[in-house]
Structure 1
Amino acid sequence: MKREISIFFTALMYYTRIPCPGWVVYQESYLHQATRYFPFIGWLIGFFAGLLFLAASYLFGTALGIILSMAGSILLTGAFHEDGFADACDGFGGGWTKERILEIMKDSRVGTYGVVGLILILAVKFFSLQQMVSNSMQPLVLLLLFMTAHALSRFVASTFLFTHTYVRLSEDSKVKPVAQGGEKHNFFIGAALAFIPLLTLLYFTGKPLLITVLLPLYLLKLYLGRYFTKWIGGYTGDSLGATQQVCEVLIYLTFIVLWKFT
């Protein structure tokens, strides 16, 4: 039990800025196992973002509520995934060989592709959330929407550990360590944790067709998997961050469409 608790806190320590007990010590083996809690981290981030939106929108209005919610989730994760998305934009946008792409992604500086990419994806996220909350949803439904988006997007990103090869610039590279070589039981535990918020959302909304959000997510995973493999031969930590960000936005967009026609 203590080992399992340590694995959970390893996930919390690595993927968020939430303080952990002092006795938790980072171990690489724990990080590999912590993959199964990645969607649960999405529960926490999504719940916090949704709660912050509800409070801020009540006090300041919808637009400021969304901005503060986005800022809160970014602060809570230390811009972990946004940083990966920006690096991926720079790498795949500015590099034409595997070595050059990986070299650019390794660089901590953000280039034009990264800046433009971040502006665009944050803008799409803002207006998607604005459109979503304009549907006069109940507070509980909004919380579940946030939790579903954060949990599912993180699960899709984590599936690369089970389906693709981790790539690094060199064998001795220590830049942005990431869990590798996922085990099957971690996949199924992660899937269960990812689907719980979605199934709960279906129950409270009475809209079973919302489950079709899984189809565009699956197609996006296939596309990104082929794209990453074509250019760099697998995935990197930045690839996972980019996947999470794109999937989160795709979930919001899909929910907008499904909400309109169901």
Structure 2
Amino acid sequence: MRNEFRALHSAVMFFTRIPLPSLAHHEDADLQRSSTYFPLVGWLVGAVAAAVWWAGLEVWTPAVASGASLAATLLLTGAFHEDGFADMCDGFGGGHTRERVMEIMRDSRIGAFGAIGLVVMLGLKWHAVAALAGAARPGDGGAAAGWSAFPALPPGLLVPAIILAAHAVSRGAAISLLATLPYAQETGKAKPLSTRLRGGRLVVAMLLALAPLALLPGRLWWGLAAIGLARTWMAWRFRRRIGGYTGDCLGAAQQVCELVFYLTVLALL
């Protein structure tokens, strides 16, 4: 249990900007084990995003509440995954060889592909979450009728539950790349996590990622199928272009899968 607590502590420290106190005892293996709890970090980030959205809706329009929620996640994670997405866009958009792709992704400067990708990604997430408020309004008939399959969930918490689920399942999809792809470089920010995720740890990670779906009506679980397609396509691209994944690839996969979940759920409501 002490080992797992240190692993969870390492996951929160690595993937967020939350100032946790340092532990008296730390091992290099703690960071390797921490990948199991990547979806649990998604619970934390998603809970903050959902709380900000719910509170913001009390005083602002859905669009402003959605923007505040998005800003909260950027502050909480230090735009860690968004930075990876931008680097991936630059590398895969501007590089024609594996070596050039890797060189561009290592460059800390943002290029045209990265800037355009970020604008589109953040804009779509912002508007998709804002649109959920109208689409998920209970009692308006049509597709929204019978929206809640979870009796303990108050009606006003459907959208927060969707936000929480999106952050968890998207991180599960990203971390699943550790189970199927090799690490593509000798060094890098994801190198400490590059041990293959297998067996019980993979099962625990996937269960943590899927658990928030229990809050949602069954028809919205089709969002998981959409994430599976997006994850499969991205894994194919990563293997084809650079022979595996990097930390930027993990961040990009999380961002794309989160957006895909929002868009799919929005279409189903």
Structure 1: give runs of 5+ residues left out of the alignment.
203-207
> What are the equivalent positions in structure 2 for 1:165-244 lying under 5 Å apart?
165-168=182-185, 171=186, 173-175=187-189, 177-180=191-194, 181-202=196-217, 208-244=218-254
In structure 2, relative to structure 1, the CA distance for the partners of 1:176 and 1:109 (3 Å cut) is farther
Paired positions, count: 251
Which residue number in structure 2 is paired with residue 161 of structure 1? Answer: 178
What root-mean-square deviation, in Å, do the aligned CA atoms of Structure 1 and Structure 2 show? 1.5
Determine if the alignment matches structure 1 residue 121 to structure 2 residue 121.
Answer: yes
Which residue number in structure 2 is paired with residue 139 of structure 1? Answer: 156
Residue by residue over 1:26-83, the C-alpha shift from the partner in whole angstroms, topping out at 9 and shown as x without a partner, is: 6431112111111111111111001001112212222211111100011000101000
TM-score normalised to structure 2 length: 0.89
**How far is 1:177 from its partner?**
3.7
**How far is 1:184 from its partner?**
1.8
**How far is 1:24 from its partner?**
5.8
In structure 2, relative to structure 1, the CA distance for the partners of 1:120 and 1:161 (3 Å cut) is same
In structure 2, relative to structure 1, the CA distance for the partners of 1:163 and 1:141 (3 Å cut) is same
In structure 2, relative to structure 1, the CA distance for the partners of 1:24 and 1:214 (3 Å cut) is farther
Stretch moving more, 208-217 or 44-53: 208-217
Q: Distance in 2 between matches of 1:150 and 1:97?
A: 33
* Identical positions, percent: 38
Matched letter for residue 93 of structure 2: G
Q: Distance in 1 between matches of 2:25 and 2:99?
A: 34
Stretch moving more, 175-184 or 188-197: 175-184
**How far is 1:19 from its partner?**
1.7
> What are the equivalent positions in structure 2 for 1:241-260 lying under 5 Å apart?
241-259=251-269
Would you say the 8 A contact 1:10–1:24 is kept in 2? no
Q: Distance in 1 between matches of 2:242 and 2:177?
A: 14
Residue by residue over 1:196-254, the C-alpha shift from the partner in whole angstroms, topping out at 9 and shown as x without a partner, is: 1002223xxxxx22222221111111111111111101111100100000000000000
Residue by residue over 1:121-176, the C-alpha shift from the partner in whole angstroms, topping out at 9 and shown as x without a partner, is: 111111111111112263321221111000000000000000011111xx3x3455
What's the secondary structure of 1:134's corresponding residue?
Answer: helix
Stretch moving more, 7-16 or 130-139: 130-139
Matched letter for residue 214 of structure 1: L
Which residue number in structure 2 is paired with residue 66 of structure 1? Answer: 66
TM-score normalised to structure 1 length: 0.91
Would you say the 8 A contact 2:88–2:105 is kept in 1? yes
Would you say the 8 A contact 2:189–2:247 is kept in 1? no
Which residue number in structure 2 is paired with residue 205 of structure 1? Answer: none
Which residue number in structure 1 is paired with residue 107 of structure 2? Answer: 107
In structure 2, relative to structure 1, the CA distance for the partners of 1:27 and 1:105 (3 Å cut) is farther
**How far is 1:178 from its partner?**
4.6
Would you say the 8 A contact 2:183–2:191 is kept in 1? no
Question: Structure 1 residue runs of 4+, over 3 Å off?
Answer: 24-28, 174-178
Matched letter for residue 23 of structure 2: W
Stretch moving more, 60-69 or 250-259: 60-69
Q: Distance in 1 between matches of 2:4 and 2:122?
A: 35
Which residue number in structure 1 is paired with residue 146 of structure 2? Answer: none
Q: Distance in 1 between matches of 2:192 and 2:161?
A: 28
Structure 2: give runs of 5+ residues left out of the alignment.
139-154
